[in-house]
Structure 1
Amino acid sequence: MSYRLYVRPLPPFADPDQSPDAQLYNWVLHDASGDSQARGTGDTRSVIEQTLSQNNLDNVLLNGLIPGDEALFCLADIPAKQARFIQQALPYAVEEQIAQDIDSVHLALGGHGDNGYRVAAIDRARMSGWVDLFSGWDHSRLYAIYPDAALLPVTGGGWSICLDGDNAMLISDRGEWLSIQSRNLGMFGHTLAMPPAEDVVAEVPVTIYGTEVELEQQQSAISELRSAGRLTVRLETIELMPLELLAHAHHHHLSQPINLCQGNYGVKSGKSSPLLAWKPLIAVASVWFVIQLGVEIGLGYYHQQHADETREQAMAIYRTAFPDDARTHAGNVRRVIEGQLRTIGSGGPSADFVTLMKYTGDQYTRVPQNQSLTFNSINYSRSRGELVVDLRADSYDRMSALRSGLSKQGLEAQIGSVVNESSGARGRLTVSGG
């Protein structure tokens, strides 16, 4: 019988090499039928491993759940169908949606929908840290790593929301996930209630999951969602922790999460190789391969010399045209030029509403004393690709700090129409894809 272990680390996150027992987890163990066999909250890794040992379980499939804001949801419009060509085109298809060097980002490919392929993007250094955290566990092996919000059961034609303490996990019917603070649910709901100009006004179903205590504590935000206009809000009470809901939805295929363990971070199946009987023949073939490899290396070195000379000539021409560009090198000059050509050809912004809203909300949480910084209204123009936020703060410095944080993320952020009043300042923040 195949068992699945769902593990969700709790903040603060500890270094697995320095203090492996300091990290605490929520976890649940499912059998092959999807029934929960064991669970725990705030346990260490050793406690979980001991539970597996006491139940005589081995080779359990470990599914690690990381915070949803660790990975960015993207869409890739790639006409190719062969996996090799899709992987080659993937970095170019999502480069403009990511506010950092694409070479430092790990891309995981999901399923194909009406709007293209679903893609998860995560910083390579962060991905390596998560792989280290979930690897090497006794009686289990790493099978997959998912953004936690991506496992929420999808609500057709609308959004699903799961209350999780001070935070809330969200997912749309097309699979895009994000995490926000629970107190901002009302503001997010008013944004959902504003239909695009080209769409017919229709109701948007919203399902909210939470324990009875959390649903009671968030009555104010839920009431604000219900009064937002065209939203149809339905409450679903869960009896245990949100991880139970996520594991249940994953087992019953109520969601289509993207497994981040792909490419260089792919995991082995753990099964014995069917090629074991062919080991002697493989040894003979290996000798021939080494000889052939020596010949190929010699030819490769010869051609590499010519390739290096060609790249140096290309970079010399590029530096002549762009002498102030210190970030471009021979490895990415082609992609940089193609990106510049696409930007010139498109003539439009590269970030959609959810991306701009996510970065704005993230930078808002980083502003010191952000309680004095409030959003009066939010407007989004799809044609211009701009998010316009009316702000009020006790000082202009608060608004300037928010703008600076967005600029450091590679976005274009400007503050206009600033009015100084006796109680503070108000102005208008305009954010675009940069």
Structure 2
Amino acid sequence: MSYRLYVRPLPPFTDPGENPDDRLFNWVLYDAGGDAQAQGSSDFRSTIEQTLSQNGLEDVLLVGLIPGDEALFCVADIPAKQSRFINQALPYAVEEQIAQDIDSVHLALGLHTQEGYRVAAVDRDRMAQWLELFRDWSHARLDAIYPDASLLPMTEGGWSVCLDGESAMMASDRGEWLSMQSANLGMFAHTMAMPPSEDVVAEVPVVIYATESEFEEQQTLLGELMVPGRLSVRQESLELMPLELLAHAHYHHLCHPINLCQRDFSVKGGKASPLKPWKPLIAVAAVWFVVQVTLEAGMGLYYQQQAEDMRQQAMTVYRDAFPNDRKAHAGNVKRVIEGQLRIAGSDGPDVDFVTLMKYTGQQYSSVASTGSVTFNSINYSQSRGELVVDVRAESYDRLSTLRNGLAGQGLDAKIGSVVNEASGARGRLTVSGG
């Protein structure tokens, strides 16, 4: 995780983009472990950049904080779940909550809650000025821009208030935030005293953050917040500036702010990819790979088609020579032809009793040498040209081996009437010329 630099500009805010080199900032630098390593107040941008350079820091994530009253908190009740439809419906869902032309407002989407989507609305021109103020810093890249009040740590069921000179930042556990003059904080006490839900709540908790000097100067104001039976006020002292409280809450996920750098003002593409110089070469390699794969696939299909054509031609020739044979196919035609040639070479075109006995005897000798195989009886039908042998073997596998051996010689061999007994298996082997 990279270092984070939290930067908060000081007033006046009439034109954030004017003379950025002359603008003053409060800032705090957090390391990857979540500890503040450096901070400063009322410093120029060049001073902050020089501090980063002196510490050898590069690519620091910059988080810009703008006044809370620059962005308006809204809630959008949108039933859609896909981001494309949500973005299309977003302007219409919050239009009535914004007192200016919706086309001149930049909308940033936050978390989805039971009430709807949390939304931050900021004037487009002002957002462009804030974006210009925070980007292109040396040794840092802009990661996010938040309304400062939205970074206050949440108080469950109540409000968080931070006194900051003449202004006060406030945020509720519902995600809403606002900034106002400290002098008007007492007038807002009635609003804070309203429970966040319909549940009966004796007192609404309010946590006030300020420095010790702020608490001493604002005693009268704090007295106005002490609404008996309505608000439960607790004071938390700050050792340094309020920015450190905001940075601590954000870094440790004690709040749920809305990043304003979305859509037209997104900064996610700001960091150059380390692969950018290699993109042309990667593109050429990708094109070559696609072409090569396409070529190999095409050649494979071509050779497969050629092989299929040759098999069909072989079967055509075989069908012409043996029109009555329906058992041969492209997968076994070679073996069938070899068997027929061996038979024809030994006994001519007719397969008689002697020929069948010759091949059956050869296979019997081969199988009997590896296991117990016995011929019980032999019958020959001259009209059918079949040799029928009653065979007994120690297992059906021996019978199957005998049949397969005869089939391998080009003969038609079948085993029927198989009976499995305790002593082995017996069946009827029928052999013909194929």
- Report how far residue 194 of structure 1 moved: 4.9
> Structure 1: how far apart are the matches of 2:31 and 2:198?
47
Matched residue of 1:155: which SS? Answer: coil
Aligned to 1:421: none
> Structure 2: how far apart are the matches of 1:253 and 1:136?
26
Aligned to 1:131: 131
> Structure 2: how far apart are the matches of 1:16 and 1:148?
15
> Structure 1: how far apart are the matches of 2:195 and 2:140?
47
In the TM superposition, what are the counterparts of 1:50-129 in structure 2 within 5 Å?
50-129=50-129
Query: Over aligned residues, Cα RMSD in angstroms?
Result: 2.3
Relative distance call for 1:40 and 1:281 in structure 2 (3 A) is closer
Aligned to 1:202: 202
Give, as a single letter, the amino acid of the residue that structure 1 aligns with 2:220.
Answer: S
Q: Is the CA contact 1:14–1:23 (under 8 Å) kept in the aligned structure 2?
A: no
Q: Is the CA contact 1:193–1:228 (under 8 Å) kept in the aligned structure 2?
A: no
Relative distance call for 1:17 and 1:184 in structure 2 (3 A) is closer
In the TM superposition, what are the counterparts of 1:412-427 in structure 2 within 5 Å?
none
Give, as a single letter, the amino acid of the residue that structure 2 aligns with 1:49.
Answer: E
- Report how far residue 269 of structure 1 moved: 5.4
> Structure 2: how far apart are the matches of 1:231 and 1:17?
41
Q: Does 1:246 align with 2:246?
A: yes
Relative distance call for 1:159 and 1:138 in structure 2 (3 A) is same
TM-score (norm 1): 0.62
Aligned to 2:271: 270
Matched residue of 1:56: which SS? Answer: coil
Give, as a single letter, the amino acid of the residue that structure 1 aligns with 2:71.
Answer: A
Relative distance call for 1:281 and 1:98 in structure 2 (3 A) is same
Any unmatched runs of 5+ in structure 1?
A: 287-434
Relative distance call for 1:15 and 1:104 in structure 2 (3 A) is closer
Q: Is the CA contact 2:194–2:204 (under 8 Å) kept in the aligned structure 1?
A: no
Aligned to 1:153: 153
Give, as a single letter, the amino acid of the residue that structure 2 aligns with 1:250.
Answer: H
Give a deviation string over 1:364-423, Cα, whole Å, max 9, x none: xxxxxxxxxxxxxxxxxxxxxxxxxxxxxxxxxxxxxxxxxxxxxxxxxxxxxxxxxxxx
Matched residue of 2:62: which SS? Answer: strand
Q: Is the CA contact 2:27–2:39 (under 8 Å) kept in the aligned structure 1?
A: yes
Give, as a single letter, the amino acid of the residue that structure 1 aligns with 2:52.
Answer: L
> Structure 1: how far apart are the matches of 2:284 and 2:104?
38
> Structure 2: how far apart are the matches of 1:16 and 1:74?
24
Relative distance call for 1:154 and 1:96 in structure 2 (3 A) is same
In the TM superposition, what are the counterparts of 1:391-410 in structure 2 within 5 Å?
none
In the TM superposition, what are the counterparts of 1:205-354 in structure 2 within 5 Å?
205-267=205-267, 268=269, 270-272=271-273, 277=278, 279-280=280-281, 282=283
Give a deviation string over 1:276-306, Cα, whole Å, max 9, x none: 65534647999xxxxxxxxxxxxxxxxxxxx
Any unmatched runs of 5+ in structure 2?
A: 288-434
Give a deviation string over 1:308-337, Cα, whole Å, max 9, x none: xxxxxxxxxxxxxxxxxxxxxxxxxxxxxx
Give a deviation string over 1:3-26, Cα, whole Å, max 9, x none: 100000000137576523220000
Relative distance call for 1:262 and 1:198 in structure 2 (3 A) is closer
- Report how far residue 49 of structure 1 moved: 0.6
- Report how far residue 203 of structure 1 moved: 1.5
Aligned to 2:371: none
> Structure 1: how far apart are the matches of 2:33 and 2:197?
46
Relative distance call for 1:199 and 1:53 in structure 2 (3 A) is same
Relative distance call for 1:198 and 1:109 in structure 2 (3 A) is closer
- Report how far residue 36 of structure 1 moved: 0.7
Relative distance call for 1:58 and 1:273 in structure 2 (3 A) is closer
> Structure 1: how far apart are the matches of 2:36 and 2:230?
37
Rg comparison, structure with higher value: 2
Give, as a single letter, the amino acid of the residue that structure 1 aligns with 2:108.
Answer: A
Q: Does 1:140 align with 2:140?
A: yes
Q: Is the CA contact 1:13–1:23 (under 8 Å) kept in the aligned structure 2?
A: no
Q: Is the CA contact 1:152–1:171 (under 8 Å) kept in the aligned structure 2?
A: yes
> Structure 1: how far apart are the matches of 2:196 and 2:116?
20
Aligned to 1:164: 164
Q: Is the CA contact 2:110–2:258 (under 8 Å) kept in the aligned structure 1?
A: yes
Could you tell me the percent identity over the aligned residues?
A: 69
Q: Is the CA contact 1:68–1:150 (under 8 Å) kept in the aligned structure 2?
A: yes
Matched residue of 1:254: which SS? Answer: coil
Aligned to 1:188: 188
Structure 1 outlier segments of 4+, above 2 Å: 13-21, 190-202, 273-286
Matched residue of 1:213: which SS? Answer: helix
Aligned to 1:46: 46
Relative distance call for 1:196 and 1:145 in structure 2 (3 A) is closer
Relative distance call for 1:14 and 1:28 in structure 2 (3 A) is farther
Relative distance call for 1:41 and 1:32 in structure 2 (3 A) is same
> Structure 1: how far apart are the matches of 2:254 and 2:196?
28
- Report how far residue 226 of structure 1 moved: 1.3
TM-score (norm 2): 0.62
Moved more, 156-165 or 190-199: 190-199
